[in-house]
Chain A
Amino acid sequence: MATAPLVRLEGVTKVYRMGDVELAALAGVTLTIEQGEFTAVMGASGSGKSTLMNLLGCLDRPTSGRYLLDGQEIGALGNDQLAALRNRTIGFVFQNFNLLSRTSAAENVELPLLYAGVASAQRRARAVESLTRVGLGDRVDHHPNQLSGGQQQRVAIARALVNRPRVILADEPTGNLDSRTSVDVMALFQELGRGGITVVLVTHEPDIAAYAARVVTMRDGLVRSDVRQVARLAVAPAEGAEVQP
């Protein structure tokens, strides 16, 4: 018997009710993502990709269908259990970084550990370790407003990584970054994938999706195509080098 897939969606729907109108954001999605896969989810706005991300991230429950994360049925869990899953199994990366202002990089990274009940000294050590992993070992006490956009996003990735999750969910992580720092961030994700972490990336840019090994395209709440490809290798350009568009 093969090992169970990390993410398994079976006929998942999500229906929003707005007054009398029912809006099916997801109309029946079946999708399997194996551990270590680097998947990009593409689609126009309104295609349902954000709803899919929210479901994958255990921020929401499906209206019908089954969602199994690491073999666990999500629909049956209470709010506190979902919070625990978000804390230990999932790491979020957002388009606008969502770092706490006037709070050092290390303290931002410590946040998930706080809710995991990790002791203070250990929190700090793990936060520094995580920041070092994303190349910010020398910026632990900097505040977000003292960091560039790319650095802020790497702090956010360090925060997503610090509790050793199984899945990283990144929602337009390069949306607010220039092309060079975007390649930086994609290189980081590819490295994480090689380390066995599953990365699911939402983007509307084909350039960015090219770095993923698999591209799932959504339209009208359904998966329209699911293509495995040879990922373009993201090579972080040397400092000061010209970037080819």
Chain B
Amino acid sequence: MSWLMTLRVALRALARNKMRSFLTGLGVVIGVAAVIAMVAIGDGAKARVEATFASMGSNMLIVMSGSSSGGGAMGGSGTMPSITWDDLKAIQTELSAVKEAAPIVRSSAQVLADDANWGTSVQGTTPDFLRVRAWPVAQGAAFTQADVDGGAKVALLGQTVVDKLFGASANPVGQVIRAKSVPFTVVGVLGRKGQSPFGQDYDDVVLVPVTTFQQKIQGGLKNYIPGQIVLSAVAADATTRAQMQISGLLRDRHRIGPDAEDDFTIRNLSEIASAQQEGTRTLTTLLAAIAAVSLLVGGIGIMNIMLVSVTERTREIGVRMAVGARARDIQLQFLVEALTLSVAGGLVGVALGLGLAGWMASAFGWSMLVRPDVILLAVGFSALVGVGFGFWPALKASRLDPITALRFE
């Protein structure tokens, strides 16, 4: 008997018992739907974490000054300036794993336009900062190194600041804003960056040349950087190497003995990112494992029903054998019945799972990500479940003695 004919025989047998076939397949439907929905939601969460970390800047590290201690109270990182402008220059020029480095000094300030004002974070930096953060300029242009060297009174505005000072659709390039009574000419608007993983609005910022910042906004110690250095490693897998090089360089330059503690702090953002991703990955794996167990239970359901079915249809098997079915025809028929149930259940489960994931994503504001390989895997696994759990009942059916089977009541 051909495969096609076996399939038709199996379909006919399943159609004779529609309700039972449906209920049997339901186990696999639920299992596959759970796998698809859980993995889609899990992958969506992972992708979102990746995207938020990517928005902070690729391969980024942050170097901060050390902590101050006065009267027994330990200040936090960056409270005692220890990183000098010369340290920055050395990091920029001497280290092979570092691509770009930029200083960043911050001050809260009230910024005024003609008929609006807004309290925001004014930050002094260099053009390298935008490259480290992979931050494009949406309108106008970034200020240049010459602006930094000359202490030019120019500013780059974040989208939120533009919204507050000029309105959402305005083009403020060429306008003048005032911060601490100092007029700055707006030369560009930064692209929208969104929120940090911790909910801070990246776009609520005004960038000015670091020299201008120190002269006009907030003076600092002459030799020390009263803020941080942000820098990017040459590649995603070079962040650890960059961290070690910076640490070695700074310890050397600050003459820190082998047993003494660092007077600076290096934050490796890609490490934080991968830790976060590891977390979501663990969660996804856990959810998928639970879903896989329910798929397994669905498979056992199929085996159970197939065993009942073999017993119930003993006479039918006897008749089929009497009219010329070979043992392998019977085995194939029951195997194909189990396979049909599980694969059909799998396909319905995929549809249901995608629908479920879509619903959860829109209802709870989660992200979802559908991966074709997961769908293939789920359907393939349900087919495997069908063959695996259908095999024994099919073998049992094919081994029936036709004489006994025909007499079965």
Q: Which chain B residues border A92 with CB–CB below 8 Å?
A: 322-323
Q: Which chain A residues border B406 with CB–CB below 8 Å?
A: 59, 94, 98
Q: Which chain A residues border B192 with CB–CB below 8 Å?
A: none
In contact, B403 and A54 (Cβ under 8 angstroms): yes
Q: A54-B403, A60-B403, A117-B1 are in contact. Are A98 and B324 (CB under 8 A)?
A: no
In contact, B325 and A98 (Cβ under 8 angstroms): no
B5 CB, nearest partner CB in chain A, Å: 6
Residue B100, interface by CB 8 Å: no
Q: A59-B402, A94-B406, A102-B16 are in contact. Are A115 and B323 (CB under 8 A)?
A: yes
Q: Which chain A residues border B241 with CB–CB below 8 Å?
A: none
In contact, A112 and B323 (Cβ under 8 angstroms): yes
Interface residues of A in 83-103 (CB under 8 A from B): 83-84, 86-88, 92, 94, 98, 100-103
Distance, CA A116 to CA B323, complexed state (A): 9
Q: Which chain B residues border A159 with CB–CB below 8 Å?
A: 323
The proximity string for B residues 316-341 relative to A, scoring 1 for CB distances below 8 Å and 0 otherwise, is 10111111111111000000000000
A40 CB, nearest partner CB in chain B, Å: 21
A103 is contacted by which of B12, B323, B327, B328 (Cβ under 8 Å)? Answer: B12
**Chain A residues bordering chain B, tally (CB within 8 A):** 27
Which chain B residue has the least Cβ–Cβ distance from A89? B324
A135 CB, nearest partner CB in chain B, Å: 21
Q: Which chain A residues border B47 with CB–CB below 8 Å?
A: none
Distance, CA A116 to CA B9, complexed state (A): 14
**Chain B residues bordering chain A, tally (CB within 8 A):** 23
Distance, CA A57 to CA B12, complexed state (A): 28
Q: A60-B403, A98-B406, A101-B16 are in contact. Are A83 and B319 (CB under 8 A)?
A: no
Q: Which chain B residues border A57 with CB–CB below 8 Å?
A: 322
Which chain A residue has the least Cβ–Cβ distance from B402? A59
Residue B200, interface by CB 8 Å: no
Q: Which chain A residues border B402 with CB–CB below 8 Å?
A: 59
Distance, CA A54 to CA B322, complexed state (A): 10
Q: Which chain B residues border A87 with CB–CB below 8 Å?
A: 323-324
A205 CB, nearest partner CB in chain B, Å: 20
A contact residues vs B (CB 8 Å cutoff): 54, 57, 59-60, 79-80, 83-84, 86-88, 92, 94, 98, 100-103, 107, 111-112, 114-117, 159, 163
20 contacts between A and B (CB under 8 A): A54-B403, A80-B327, A80-B328, A83-B324, A83-B325, A83-B326, A83-B327, A84-B324, A98-B315, A100-B319, A101-B16, A103-B16, A107-B12, A111-B319, A112-B324, A115-B326, A115-B329, A116-B324, A117-B1, A117-B2
The 7 closest A-B pairs by CB, nearest first: A87-B324, A115-B324, A112-B323, A102-B16, A83-B326, A98-B319, A80-B326
B contact residues vs A (CB 8 Å cutoff): 1-2, 5, 9, 12, 16, 315-316, 318-329, 402-403, 406
15 extra interface residue pairs, beta carbon distance < 8 Å, beyond A79-B326, A83-B327: A59-B403, A83-B321, A83-B324, A86-B322, A87-B323, A100-B316, A102-B16, A103-B12, A103-B16, A107-B12, A111-B323, A114-B1, A115-B324, A115-B325, A115-B329
